[in-house]
Structure 1
Amino acid sequence: MTFNRRSFLAAGAATLASPAILSAQSTLALRMGHPHPESDSWQDTALWMAETLKEKSSGEITLQVFPNGLLGNDPTMINSVRAGSLDIMVTGNPFFTSLAPQLNVLDLPYLFRNRDHIARVLDGEIGDELRADFEGTGLFALSLWETGWRHLTNSRRPVETPEDIRGLKIRTTPNPAHIEAFRLLGAVPTPMAFTELFTALEMGAVDGQENPTTLILNSRFHEAQKYLTLTQHAFTASPLVTNAAKLDAMGEDRSALLIETAQEGARRQRAMNVEREGSSLATLKEEGMEVVETPDRDLFRAIVSEPVQATFADEFGSDLIDRINAAAA
């Protein structure tokens, strides 16, 4: 089954995936894992998916959700889905870029202007093309959720300018764009799995990390980090993936329902994050974090944006970057 065919199925899911059709088949029990805590929007959206799939299939499709890295860290769960021992997982885009390298474009620093720009890219033709980049990996990208706008925390000092980052050991994702950006800023980028991060912060193995305020709060990173700077240096999308062969074997009606639910879930999850960004920041302040709300983002952008984009363009060309920039208009 090709990506184009699956896109057609998604568009026609409301017609194909009627309860009467689905109920004529045997029960389909699915398992989904993710590394975020139970208080995160990923968990809330996954539970919504479970309820929706059960309702629309008249109980013939069930989805059991395992949060908090219960089924392994990010790479482990990706490999489990590829092997077919886990049905569905979601994690940040950077953990997939070794399989689908062009996805790295989504993590280029200061690429996105605002959330309208993000939606036009992730939910449009570019997002479809990037999901198609999973072909041949054993994975199928059902939809693109989000981790969100990334900000910097650390335990050493307030960060107001790029100079303040110099020498800090910062946990990053394994994405080459993130690693290069922090190297250019003079930090010591230290990639590691998300499930290992709290312990690394608590033990002082790294000085800081970069994630959205919602995740900083939900993961209780503020217990090990004193300073937060709203750098908004990158936006991280989060592919929701399933095993491609298993999706084929479900049949058209069930695969259509799963894709439709996953894509509606992506829109709901991103909207949920928008609602929670402000309240999570307020809570982090109440919990004692010192917040630099208006760092000199232009200085940060001047150091990292052009060189990191040039590195991507050297390998993949500038077409994707140009089209994403054009989508900001």
Structure 2
Amino acid sequence: MTLTRRNFLTTAATATGLMAAPAILRAQGTLALRMGHPHPETDSWQDTALWMADTLKEKSGGEITLQVFPNGLIGNDPTMINSVRAGSLDIMVTGNPFFTSLAPELNVLDLPYLFQNRDHVARVLDGEIGDRLRSDFEGTGLFALSLWETGWRHVTNSRRPVATPEDIKGLKIRTTPNPAHIEAFRLLGAVPTPMAFTELFTALEMGAVDGQENPTTLILNSRFYEAQKYLSLTQHAFTAAPLVTNAEKLEAMGEDRRTLLIETAQEGARRQRALNVEREETSLATLKDEGMEVVEEPDREAFRAIVADEVQAKFASEFGSDLIDQINGAAA
């Protein structure tokens, strides 16, 4: 049977019966899975990955194990994606921008100033729009188990406070490889410099780039404050993070194991996003304690006026406006 998005969603919906029958899993033999991600061990990705490992072991009666490799230990973002596609790594998670070369419509999630608040984000990621976007992985060798998050993105740099778009001009800013991120910073007059997350701290420390843009939780957990003086809460984009596995391996697992893995991954996504909500406020306070100078109310409307419409129009010219319209419609 070739598994489509519809097949997988149906499988996940039948998981209640499976949870009561670990003997079914035991009859198939032990399944040892390996998972990688680029974030530090202190990050919510690691906490949630370990929760997944415990849950899979418990629900399978010990017949499914998950070994977790954080902090880019087994490769940077593109390397891990390619490893999962090749089948040498079972599961990985990273920011949505690293997948857009494989599934270009995912770029919609990274359009600047698209989401109004976290309720808006949840309606999109956990609803029909999220299902549609996960289905874009079909044919890539990957299957998107669920959508985690990196969170709201903010700008840091080592040169000056950023309160207006004028302040960011000329700054060399590390971005993701996502076309929307690159175009937004180009429009602002910065010098966008894409690179893998695992290379970022060294680039900041050595002055190869002036700054970067990530959520406060990641700025803290990655100790970027050691190389960055200024933080501006631009909240210019929200980044989702697909949790992916090898599609052929998932198909070969058997229906009960697929169900367990998908259900665990989807519950993990809700847990991980809740953890990030809790930690955003505390991480900001800690960054201040570490000496970062924070611009809490930059002129977001001025930033929005420069980047939002133009970047969205560029996406619409290539993919149509349907997805943008659906996401905007989910805001109410």
TM-score, length-normalised on structure 1? 1.00
Match for residue 139 of structure 1?
Answer: 142
1:198 Cα shift?
0.1
| Corresponding position: 1:207 with 2:210 | yes
Q: Select the residue among 155, 158, 167 that pairs with 1:155.
A: 158
For residues 38-93 of structure 1, the C-alpha deviation after alignment (integer angstroms, 9 at most, x for no partner) is 00000000000000000000000000000000010000000000000000000000
What pairs up with 1:38-117 in 2 under 5 angstroms? 38-117=41-120
Match for residue 170 of structure 2?
Answer: 167
4+ residue segments displaced more than 2 Å: none
SS class of match (1:205): coil
1:9 Cα shift?
0.6
Match for residue 13 of structure 2?
Answer: 11
For residues 194-215 of structure 1, the C-alpha deviation after alignment (integer angstroms, 9 at most, x for no partner) is 0000000000000000000000
CA–CA distance in 2 between the matches of 1:282 and 1:16?
A: 43
1:235 Cα shift?
0.1
AA aligned to 1:11 is: A
For residues 119-172 of structure 1, the C-alpha deviation after alignment (integer angstroms, 9 at most, x for no partner) is 000000000000000000000000000000000000000000000000000000
Unaligned runs of 5+ in 1: none
SS class of match (2:327): helix
1:3 Cα shift?
1.1
How many residues of Structure 1 are paired with residues of Structure 2 in the alignment? Answer: 329
SS class of match (1:288): coil
Q: Select the residue among 306, 311, 318 that pairs with 2:309.
A: 306
SS class of match (2:297): coil
TM-score, length-normalised on structure 2? 0.99
| Corresponding position: 1:261 with 2:264 | yes
For residues 289-323 of structure 1, the C-alpha deviation after alignment (integer angstroms, 9 at most, x for no partner) is 00000001000000000000000000000000000
1:13 Cα shift?
1.4
CA–CA distance in 2 between the matches of 1:296 and 1:15?
A: 52
Q: Select the residue among 182, 205, 211 that pairs with 1:179.
A: 182
For residues 260-305 of structure 1, the C-alpha deviation after alignment (integer angstroms, 9 at most, x for no partner) is 0000000000000000000000000000000000001000000000
CA–CA distance in 1 between the matches of 2:95 and 2:104?
A: 14
For residues 213-269 of structure 1, the C-alpha deviation after alignment (integer angstroms, 9 at most, x for no partner) is 000000000000000000000000000000000000000000000000000000000
SS class of match (1:105): helix
1:20 Cα shift?
2.1
| Corresponding position: 1:274 with 2:285 | no
Q: Select the residue among 192, 195, 199 that pairs with 1:196.
A: 199
Q: Is the 8 A contact 1:14 1:257 kept in 2?
A: no
1:11 Cα shift?
1.1
1:29 Cα shift?
0.1
SS class of match (2:186): helix
AA aligned to 1:7 is: L
CA–CA distance in 2 between the matches of 1:53 and 1:14?
A: 14
CA–CA distance in 2 between the matches of 1:214 and 1:4?
A: 35
CA–CA distance in 2 between the matches of 1:14 and 1:108?
A: 37
Unaligned runs of 5+ in 2: none
CA–CA distance in 2 between the matches of 1:16 and 1:311?
A: 46
AA aligned to 1:293 is: E
Match for residue 124 of structure 1?
Answer: 127
Q: Is the 8 A contact 1:106 1:236 kept in 2?
A: yes
Percent of matched pairs sharing the same residue: 85
Aligned-residue RMSD, C-alpha:
0.5
CA–CA distance in 1 between the matches of 2:200 and 2:6?
A: 38
SS class of match (1:143): strand
